[in-house]
Structure 1
Amino acid sequence: MEQIFPAELEELLSEGKELTVVDVREADEVAQGKIPSAVHIPLGLLEFRMHELDKNNHYVIVCRSGGRSARATQLLESYGYQVKNLNGGMAAWEGKTE
Protein backbone atom coordinates (compact mmCIF):
# COMPACT_ATOMS: atom_id res chain seq x y z
CA MET A 1 0.00 0.00 0.00
CA GLU A 2 1.37 3.36 -1.01
CA GLN A 3 1.47 6.17 1.54
CA ILE A 4 1.58 9.92 1.11
CA PHE A 5 2.52 12.39 3.83
CA PRO A 6 0.31 15.40 4.61
CA ALA A 7 2.91 17.98 3.53
CA GLU A 8 3.35 16.17 0.21
CA LEU A 9 -0.42 16.09 -0.38
CA GLU A 10 -0.72 19.76 0.51
CA GLU A 11 2.00 20.59 -2.03
CA LEU A 12 0.35 18.51 -4.77
CA LEU A 13 -3.02 20.17 -4.14
CA SER A 14 -1.49 23.66 -4.18
CA GLU A 15 0.17 22.82 -7.52
CA GLY A 16 -3.21 21.80 -8.92
CA LYS A 17 -2.22 18.18 -9.53
CA GLU A 18 -4.99 15.95 -10.79
CA LEU A 19 -5.97 13.83 -7.83
CA THR A 20 -9.05 13.42 -5.69
CA VAL A 21 -9.08 13.22 -1.91
CA VAL A 22 -11.66 10.76 -0.56
CA ASP A 23 -12.58 11.23 3.11
CA VAL A 24 -13.85 7.97 4.62
CA ARG A 25 -14.71 9.36 8.08
CA GLU A 26 -18.24 9.52 9.45
CA ALA A 27 -20.43 12.56 8.77
CA ASP A 28 -20.01 14.02 12.27
CA GLU A 29 -16.22 13.90 11.88
CA VAL A 30 -16.33 15.54 8.45
CA ALA A 31 -18.58 18.29 9.86
CA GLN A 32 -15.66 19.33 12.08
CA GLY A 33 -13.56 20.05 8.98
CA LYS A 34 -12.27 18.34 5.88
CA ILE A 35 -9.65 18.94 3.24
CA PRO A 36 -11.10 21.39 0.68
CA SER A 37 -12.60 19.61 -2.34
CA ALA A 38 -12.46 16.20 -0.63
CA VAL A 39 -15.23 13.78 -1.57
CA HIS A 40 -16.98 12.28 1.45
CA ILE A 41 -17.69 8.54 1.23
CA PRO A 42 -17.89 6.90 4.68
CA LEU A 43 -15.87 3.69 4.93
CA GLY A 44 -19.03 1.64 5.54
CA LEU A 45 -20.46 2.80 2.21
CA LEU A 46 -17.29 2.69 0.12
CA GLU A 47 -17.87 -0.78 -1.25
CA PHE A 48 -21.32 0.29 -2.48
CA ARG A 49 -20.21 3.67 -3.85
CA MET A 50 -16.82 2.90 -5.39
CA HIS A 51 -18.51 2.81 -8.80
CA GLU A 52 -18.64 6.64 -8.45
CA LEU A 53 -14.82 6.68 -8.70
CA ASP A 54 -12.97 6.54 -12.02
CA LYS A 55 -10.19 3.94 -12.18
CA ASN A 56 -8.22 6.29 -14.45
CA ASN A 57 -7.94 8.93 -11.70
CA HIS A 58 -5.54 9.09 -8.75
CA TYR A 59 -6.97 9.12 -5.22
CA VAL A 60 -5.71 9.91 -1.74
CA ILE A 61 -7.75 8.30 1.02
CA VAL A 62 -8.04 10.06 4.39
CA CYS A 63 -9.62 9.35 7.78
CA ARG A 64 -8.92 10.59 11.31
CA SER A 65 -5.59 8.88 11.95
CA GLY A 66 -4.89 6.51 9.04
CA GLY A 67 -6.46 3.19 10.09
CA ARG A 68 -9.77 3.34 8.26
CA SER A 69 -8.17 4.95 5.25
CA ALA A 70 -5.63 2.09 5.13
CA ARG A 71 -8.50 -0.41 4.95
CA ALA A 72 -10.21 1.70 2.27
CA THR A 73 -6.96 1.97 0.32
CA GLN A 74 -6.50 -1.81 0.37
CA LEU A 75 -10.10 -2.35 -0.74
CA LEU A 76 -9.82 0.09 -3.65
CA GLU A 77 -6.40 -1.29 -4.66
CA SER A 78 -7.91 -4.78 -4.83
CA TYR A 79 -10.39 -3.45 -7.42
CA GLY A 80 -7.70 -1.77 -9.51
CA TYR A 81 -7.94 1.84 -8.32
CA GLN A 82 -4.86 4.09 -8.12
CA VAL A 83 -4.83 5.06 -4.45
CA LYS A 84 -2.54 6.25 -1.67
CA ASN A 85 -3.23 6.37 2.05
CA LEU A 86 -2.73 9.71 3.83
CA ASN A 87 -0.18 8.87 6.53
CA GLY A 88 -1.46 10.11 9.91
CA GLY A 89 -4.85 11.18 8.53
CA MET A 90 -6.56 14.41 9.53
CA ALA A 91 -4.75 14.29 12.89
CA ALA A 92 -1.52 15.04 10.98
CA TRP A 93 -3.04 17.44 8.42
CA GLU A 94 -1.88 21.04 8.90
CA GLY A 95 -3.28 22.46 5.67
CA LYS A 96 -6.54 24.29 5.04
CA THR A 97 -9.85 22.77 6.02
CA GLU A 98 -13.43 23.64 5.20
Structure 2
Amino acid sequence: MDDIRVNELKERMAKGESLHIVDVREDWEHEEANIEGSTLIPLGDLPTRLSELDNLKGEEVIVHCKSGGRSGRAKQYMTGQGFSKVRNLLGGMDEFSQS
Protein backbone atom coordinates (compact mmCIF):
# COMPACT_ATOMS: atom_id res chain seq x y z
CA MET A 1 0.00 0.00 0.00
CA ASP A 2 1.22 3.52 -0.75
CA ASP A 3 2.73 5.59 2.03
CA ILE A 4 0.95 8.65 3.40
CA ARG A 5 2.03 12.29 3.47
CA VAL A 6 1.56 14.54 6.48
CA ASN A 7 -0.93 16.82 4.71
CA GLU A 8 -3.22 13.87 3.88
CA LEU A 9 -3.04 12.59 7.46
CA LYS A 10 -3.81 16.02 8.91
CA GLU A 11 -6.76 16.49 6.53
CA ARG A 12 -8.20 13.14 7.55
CA MET A 13 -7.68 13.93 11.23
CA ALA A 14 -9.42 17.29 10.81
CA LYS A 15 -12.41 15.47 9.28
CA GLY A 16 -12.59 13.33 12.41
CA GLU A 17 -11.81 10.05 10.67
CA SER A 18 -11.14 7.08 12.91
CA LEU A 19 -7.49 6.23 12.23
CA HIS A 20 -5.17 3.50 13.49
CA ILE A 21 -1.81 5.18 14.08
CA VAL A 22 1.17 3.31 15.54
CA ASP A 23 4.19 5.23 16.85
CA VAL A 24 7.32 3.07 16.62
CA ARG A 25 9.62 5.56 18.38
CA GLU A 26 10.97 5.13 21.90
CA ASP A 27 9.00 6.06 25.04
CA TRP A 28 10.96 9.26 25.63
CA GLU A 29 10.36 10.44 22.05
CA HIS A 30 6.63 9.80 22.39
CA GLU A 31 6.56 11.77 25.66
CA GLU A 32 8.20 14.78 23.96
CA ALA A 33 5.66 14.92 21.12
CA ASN A 34 3.06 12.56 19.74
CA ILE A 35 0.08 12.29 17.46
CA GLU A 36 -3.07 12.28 19.55
CA GLY A 37 -4.65 8.85 19.70
CA SER A 38 -1.58 6.98 18.46
CA THR A 39 -0.51 3.67 19.98
CA LEU A 40 3.11 3.49 21.14
CA ILE A 41 4.93 0.27 20.25
CA PRO A 42 8.68 0.92 19.88
CA LEU A 43 10.19 -0.78 16.83
CA GLY A 44 12.31 -3.10 19.00
CA ASP A 45 9.17 -4.30 20.81
CA LEU A 46 7.10 -4.80 17.66
CA PRO A 47 7.83 -8.54 17.18
CA THR A 48 6.70 -9.37 20.74
CA ARG A 49 3.75 -6.95 20.81
CA LEU A 50 2.39 -7.34 17.27
CA SER A 51 -0.45 -9.51 18.59
CA GLU A 52 -1.87 -6.33 20.18
CA LEU A 53 -2.69 -5.22 16.63
CA ASP A 54 -4.05 -8.51 15.28
CA ASN A 55 -7.57 -7.07 15.03
CA LEU A 56 -6.22 -4.52 12.51
CA LYS A 57 -4.76 -6.99 9.98
CA GLY A 58 -7.33 -6.01 7.33
CA GLU A 59 -7.55 -2.35 8.37
CA GLU A 60 -5.45 0.62 7.33
CA VAL A 61 -2.64 1.12 9.83
CA ILE A 62 -0.44 4.22 9.69
CA VAL A 63 3.02 3.80 11.23
CA HIS A 64 5.33 6.67 12.06
CA CYS A 65 8.63 7.50 13.72
CA LYS A 66 10.87 10.58 13.81
CA SER A 67 11.60 10.84 10.09
CA GLY A 68 10.30 7.71 8.36
CA GLY A 69 13.15 5.19 8.56
CA ARG A 70 12.07 3.07 11.52
CA SER A 71 8.45 3.20 10.44
CA GLY A 72 9.50 2.02 6.98
CA ARG A 73 11.06 -1.04 8.61
CA ALA A 74 7.91 -1.49 10.73
CA LYS A 75 5.76 -1.38 7.60
CA GLN A 76 7.92 -4.01 5.92
CA TYR A 77 7.80 -6.26 8.99
CA MET A 78 4.04 -5.89 9.50
CA THR A 79 3.33 -6.54 5.82
CA GLY A 80 5.35 -9.75 6.11
CA GLN A 81 3.21 -10.74 9.08
CA GLY A 82 -0.06 -10.46 7.18
CA PHE A 83 -1.02 -6.80 7.63
CA SER A 84 -2.30 -5.79 4.20
CA LYS A 85 -2.86 -2.03 4.52
CA VAL A 86 0.16 -0.55 6.31
CA ARG A 87 1.17 2.99 5.36
CA ASN A 88 4.35 4.79 6.42
CA LEU A 89 4.03 8.47 7.39
CA LEU A 90 6.58 10.15 5.12
CA GLY A 91 8.67 12.68 7.01
CA GLY A 92 7.48 11.34 10.37
CA MET A 93 7.12 13.52 13.45
CA ASP A 94 9.74 15.92 12.10
CA GLU A 95 7.43 16.96 9.28
CA PHE A 96 4.20 16.50 11.27
CA SER A 97 5.42 18.95 13.93
CA GLN A 98 6.48 21.55 11.37
CA SER A 99 3.30 21.69 9.31
TM exceeding 0.5 = yes
Paired residues for 1:19-98 under 5 Å = 19-53=19-53, 54=55, 55-81=57-83, 82-94=85-97
In structure 1, list runs of 5 or more residues that go unmatched: none
The one-character-per-residue Cα deviations of 1:32-90 (angstroms, maximum 9, x if unpaired) are 01000000000000111111112132110000000000000000111121210000100
In structure 2, list runs of 5 or more residues that go unmatched: none
Deviation at 1:12, TM superposition (A): 1.3
TM-score (norm 1): 0.89
TM-score (norm 2): 0.89
Greater helix share, 1 or 2? 2
Q: Which amino acid aligns with 1:88?
A: G
Bigger mean CA offset, 51-60 vs 35-44: 51-60
C-alpha root-mean-square deviation of aligned residues, in Å? 1.7
Q: Which amino acid aligns with 1:17?
A: E
Paired residues for 1:7-22 under 5 Å = 7-22=7-22
8 Å Cα contact 1:6-1:87 kept in structure 2: yes
Runs ≥4 in structure 1, deviation > 4 angstroms? none
